[in-house]
Amino acid sequence: MSGDLVAVWDVALSDGVHRIEFEHGTTTGKRVVYIDGKEAIRRDWMFKLVGKETFHVGGTNTKATINIDAVSGFAYEYTLEINGQSLKNYMENRSKVTSTWLLNLDGIDCRVVLEKDSMDIWCNGQKMETAGEFVDDGTETHFTLGDHDCCIKAMSSGKRRDGIIHTLLVDGMEISESE
C-alpha cells in the first residue's frame, strides 16, 4: 500500500466484518479499492478526481459505493454507502433487521448473525444449515456449531414496540446478544 491511503472503513455484514481501504492519488488520479487486504479495483489514470467507485463486498455480495467529493481546493471528502445508504444509516438500520452474538466455542471465536427477515443464520462467514419448528411460545431455529446444539428462539415480547425477541441457546445455555 502506498502513501495514497485516504480512507478505511470496517463494515459488519452477515458473513463477517469487512475492511474497505481506499487509495486516491490526487496527482495521478489513481484509485484503488482493497477489500480485506485484497485489491478489488484499480484505476491508474483518472482525469476526473471526483466521482464514485461501486463494488460488491463479502459472501453476501452487498453493493458498496465510495463517493469522492471535492471539499475545497485540493481537499477531498470520501464517504462510503452500503446498499445506497450512508454507512451510519445502514448500520443503524441493520441493527433492527439482524441480531448478532459473539461467543467462544472450543477455543474458537464465533460471530453468529441472524437475519430476521429471512431467518438465515450465519456463523463466521458461512450460511448455516437450519431446521425450524413451531413451539408453544414462538419458533425455534436449530443448527449445529462443531459438536454443539444451537437454537435461536423467537418469541413475542408481549409489547408491540419491542416486537419479537430472539434468544440464542448453545447446549441449552442462553448467550447474550452483542453489538
Mean pLDDT computed over every residue of the chain = 91
The vertex-81 CA angle with 30 and 60, nearest 5°, equals 100
Kindly report, residue by residue over 32-42, the tens digit of the pLDDT.
999 999 999 99
Q: Which of these ranges, 24-28, 35-39, 97-101, has the smallest mean pLDDT?
A: 24-28
- pLDDT above 60: residue 108: yes
Where exactly are the structural domains of the chain? 5-83, 98-175
**Given this model, what pLDDT does residue 47 score?**
78
Kindly report, residue by residue over 43-61, the tens digit of the pLDDT.
988 778 889 999 999 988 9
Mapped onto helix, strand or coil, the DSSP state of residue 45 is coil
What CATH number should be reported for the domain whose range is 5-83?
A: 2.40.128.180
**Given this model, what pLDDT does residue 179 score?**
60
- pLDDT above 80: residue 161: no
**Given this model, what pLDDT does residue 156 score?**
86
pTM: 0.83
What CATH number should be reported for the domain whose range is 98-175?
A: 2.40.128.180
The CA distance from 165 to 96, in Å, is 12
**Main-chain dihedrals φ then ψ at residue 26, nearest 5 degrees:** -75, -15
H helices present in 35-126, as ranges: 87-97
- pLDDT above 60: residue 1: no
Kindly report, residue by residue over 65-95, the tens digit of the pLDDT.
999 999 987 789 999 999 999 999 999 998 8
pLDDT band, very low/low/confident/very high, at 14 (cuts 50, 70, 90)? very high
